[in-house]
């Protein structure tokens, strides 16, 4: 039950007929006692193929390919690794197969789901390519009329992401125990004109035929290629356009509620845009940042309630599992309340994203960015980066040094905001710095951010759970045991917050250390 197959591509489809097989048989027969004939395995099989991945290609980037193959009422999901080896399969009857896009929890429990879970995480799987394959199998027979290898000729019509006919793919599958003969056939086949080694996977072939490519992540601001000497206005326009691309790429998935990461990524694009406008807006033509900042603030506010509830719901299983006094079932009314609140928040968010205000914002913003021209006396990208990173670094240090044991939570929140701004600037102007140096520079900053994030999340969630409890009490949807269980969660949040607070001093000391600061300062020198 081994495979060890070899792939070829027919550059010209005219060769896929009998002349190809005859040519292989003739080349093969050149050796002693090497008679080879071909037999048809019967009529061609047609199957519908669909490749699935997350919106940000997590499977592809992890070297995995997930394909759903459907034929005659049966569908099978096949997960393969980098070298094409099958890692897991899942058979499904047509009526029982999940509709895509869909979350992993809709798949039956088993090895396939277990292998996908750590890679896809909370992301939904959605079709990235669709095709119909017509496969004709030929059997290579030795002198005893015994099959020694099978040659599958696959003609694939791609239907998504575009309509196109892919070049015919040949798969030579040796029969176990006849590898030598199959290798010989493979050599004869590979030597024929018009036949080339099929180094591309079926997915890559389908995408290439449709003019697409796998693994592309939409609009990552840190991936924008900047030059140190380009005008700062041009650099900012490029960064902000990439952020707008990312924002727009996530709108449909957010409205359709495919998975929670669409909104998360949309919010990241909004947050980066707001920070970029705040910190570097002066590099843009007069009044542009001032005009758009309130609009992006509106967008940030519009998206916040749904995301806050998503964070609650995503962390719910862990919170429930951590209960000591109460039971998980006692939390069910709270879970129901969160779901209802989230549905209402999402409906409001969708209305906002479908509104004329939102479409005006994005279209006006895109045209304004496209029209940005550098003014004569504006700085270069490297100067702007160095100046802004330097300022943000100083502000973060000052805010941190003011914090003592008596400081209120707001002071830590303020520091968190300064740290985020510093981090965004470092990432935004990332292409101006050496990646390894950048990574070194932000190591302590990341550690401090994690601690501040934990502290602030616990702070927000504690306030929220109190508000939820008051709300549920008012509309009489919470039995006393549910309120008690929520109290236990609140106590857990308080413990988390205390732990984060106790770690703060050490983390800040690391960040403020001369070495760490020197590494950050080096970025401002290389950028300048």
Contact positions toward another protein, by CB under 8 A? 1, 86-88, 91, 111-112, 115, 139, 144-147, 175-178
Cβ neighbours, 10 Å, residue 108? 12
* CA dist 118 → 52, 54, 60, 262, 487 (Å): 16, 13, 14, 18, 32
Least Å distance, CB 180 to another protein, is 12
Least Å distance, CB 25 to another protein, is 18
Question: Which residue number, 93 or 318, has a Cβ lying nearer to another protein?
Answer: 93
Residue 134 dihedral angles phi and psi, to the nearest 5°: -115, 110
Report yes or no: 465 and 484 within 8 Å, Cβ to Cβ.
no
Question: Which residue number, 4 or 162, has a Cβ lying nearer to another protein?
Answer: 4
Cβ neighbours, 10 Å, residue 221? 24
Least Å distance, CB 189 to another protein, is 20
Terminal-to-terminal C-alpha distance of the chain: 61
Least Å distance, CB 175 to another protein, is 4
The Cα 80–Cα 66 span in angstroms is 7
Question: Which residue number, 91 or 163, has a Cβ lying nearer to another protein?
Answer: 91
Question: Which residue number, 139 or 417, has a Cβ lying nearer to another protein?
Answer: 139
Least Å distance, CB 137 to another protein, is 11
Least Å distance, CB 201 to another protein, is 19
Three-state SS for 152? strand
Three-state secondary structure of 177-198 = CCHHHHHHHHHHHHCCCCEEEC
Question: Which residue number, 87 or 126, has a Cβ lying nearer to another protein?
Answer: 87
Question: Which residue number, 62 or 175, has a Cβ lying nearer to another protein?
Answer: 175
Question: Which residue number, 91 or 340, has a Cβ lying nearer to another protein?
Answer: 91
Question: Which residue number, 180 or 398, has a Cβ lying nearer to another protein?
Answer: 180
Instruction: Say whether the peptide bond before residue 101 is cis (omega within 30 degrees of 0).
Output: yes
Instruction: Say whether the peptide bond before residue 95 is cis (omega within 30 degrees of 0).
Output: no
Least Å distance, CB 83 to another protein, is 13
Beta bridge partners of 153: 136, 170
Nearest to 292 by CA among 386, 366, 348, 199: 366
The Cα 206–Cα 195 span in angstroms is 18
The Cα 404–Cα 386 span in angstroms is 30
Question: Which residue number, 145 or 356, has a Cβ lying nearer to another protein?
Answer: 145
Least Å distance, CB 288 to another protein, is 55
Least Å distance, CB 197 to another protein, is 24
Question: Which residue number, 11 or 85, has a Cβ lying nearer to another protein?
Answer: 85
Least Å distance, CB 62 to another protein, is 16
Cβ neighbours, 10 Å, residue 225? 10
How crowded is the C-beta side of 405, counted as CA atoms within 13 Å?
Answer: 1
Q: What contacts 37, CB < 8 A, 6 or more positions away?
A: 25, 140, 141, 145
Question: Which residue number, 64 or 331, has a Cβ lying nearer to another protein?
Answer: 64
Least Å distance, CB 182 to another protein, is 11
Least Å distance, CB 111 to another protein, is 4
Q: Which residue has the tokens 């389908």?
A: 206
Nearest to 469 by CA among 348, 322, 341: 341
Annotate 377-410 with b (16+ C-beta within 10 A) or e (fewer).
ebbbbbbbbbbbbbebbebbbebbeebeeeeebe
Least Å distance, CB 86 to another protein, is 7
Report yes or no: 204 and 131 within 8 Å, Cβ to Cβ.
no
Question: Which residue number, 39 or 371, has a Cβ lying nearer to another protein?
Answer: 39
The Cα 291–Cα 480 span in angstroms is 50
Instruction: Work out whether the CA dihedral 295, 298, 303, 304 comes out positive or negative.
Output: positive
Is 153 buried (19+), middle (13-18) or exposed (0-12) by CB count in 10 A? buried
For residue 241, give the H/E element and its range.
helix 232-249
Query: Phi/psi zone of residue 153: left (φ > 0), alpha (ψ -120 to 50 degrees), beta?
Result: beta
Question: Which residue number, 143 or 435, has a Cβ lying nearer to another protein?
Answer: 143
Query: Phi/psi zone of residue 5: left (φ > 0), alpha (ψ -120 to 50 degrees), beta?
Result: beta
């Amino acid at each position: 039950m081994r495979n060890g197959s070899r792939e070829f591509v027919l550059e010209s489809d005219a060769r896929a007929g009998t002349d190809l097989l005859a040519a292989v048989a003739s080349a093969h027969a050149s050796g002693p006692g090497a008679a080879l004939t071909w037999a048809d395995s019967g009529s061609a099989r047609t199957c519908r193929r669909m490749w699935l991945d997350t919106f940000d290609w997590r499977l592809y980037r992890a070297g995995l390919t997930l394909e759903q193959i459907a034929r005659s009422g049966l569908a099978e999901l096949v997960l393969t690794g980098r070298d094409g080896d099958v890692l897991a399969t899942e058979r499904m009857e047509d009526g029982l197969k999940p509709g895509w896009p869909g979350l992993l929890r809709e798949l039956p429990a088993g090895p396939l789901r277990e292998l996908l879970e750590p890679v896809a995480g909370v992301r939904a799987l959605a079709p990235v390519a669709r095709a119909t394959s017509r496969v004709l199998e030929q059997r290579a027979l030795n002198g005893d009329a015994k099959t020694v290898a099978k040659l599958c000729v696959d003609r694939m019509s791609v239907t998504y992401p575009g309509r196109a006919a892919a070049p015919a793919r040949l798969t030579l599958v040796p029969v176990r125990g006849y590898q030598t003969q199959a290798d010989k056939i493979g050599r004869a086949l590979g030597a024929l004109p018009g036949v080339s080694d099929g180094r591309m996977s079926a997915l890559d072939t389908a995408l290439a035929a449709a003019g697409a490519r796998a693994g592309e992540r939409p609009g990552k601001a840190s991936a924008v290629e900047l030059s140190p000497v380009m005008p700062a206005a041009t650099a900012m326009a490029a960064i902000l356009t990439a952020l707008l691309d990312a924002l727009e790429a996530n709108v449909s998935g957010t409205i359709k509620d495919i998975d929670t990461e669409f909104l998360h990524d949309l919010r990241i694009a909004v947050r980066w845009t707001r920070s970029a406008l705040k910190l570097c807006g002066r590099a843009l033509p007069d009044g542009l940042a001032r005009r758009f900042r309130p609009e992006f603030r509106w967008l940030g506010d519009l998206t916040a309630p749904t995301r806050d509830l998503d964070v609650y719901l995503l962390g719910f299983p862990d919170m429930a599992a951590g209960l000591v006094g109460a039971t998980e079932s006692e939390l069910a009314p709270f879970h129901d309340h969160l779901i209802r609140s989230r549905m209402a928040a999402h409906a409001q968010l969708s209305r906002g994203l479908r509104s004329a205000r939102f479409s005006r914002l994005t279209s006006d913003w895109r045209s304004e960015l496209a029209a940005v021209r550098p003014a004569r006396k504006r700085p270069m990208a490297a100067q702007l980066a160095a100046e802004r990173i330097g300022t943000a670094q100083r502000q973060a240090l000052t805010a941190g040094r003011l914090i003592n044991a008596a400081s209120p939570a707001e002071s830590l929140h303020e520091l968190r905001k300064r740290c985020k701004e510093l981090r965004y600037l470092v990432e935004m102007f990332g292409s101006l710095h050496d990646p390894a140096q950048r990574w070194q520079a932000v190591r302590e900053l990341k550690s401090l951010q994690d601690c501040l994030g934990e502290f602030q999340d616990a702070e927000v969630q504690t306030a929220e759970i109190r508000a939820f409890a008051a709300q549920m009490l008012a509309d009489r949807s919470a039995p006393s045991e549910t309120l008690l269980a929520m109290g236990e969660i609140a106590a857990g949040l308080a413990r988390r917050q205390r732990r984060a607070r106790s770690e703060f001093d050490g983390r800040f000391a690391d960040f403020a250390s001369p070495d760490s600061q020197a590494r950050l300062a080096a970025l401002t020198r290389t950028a300048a």
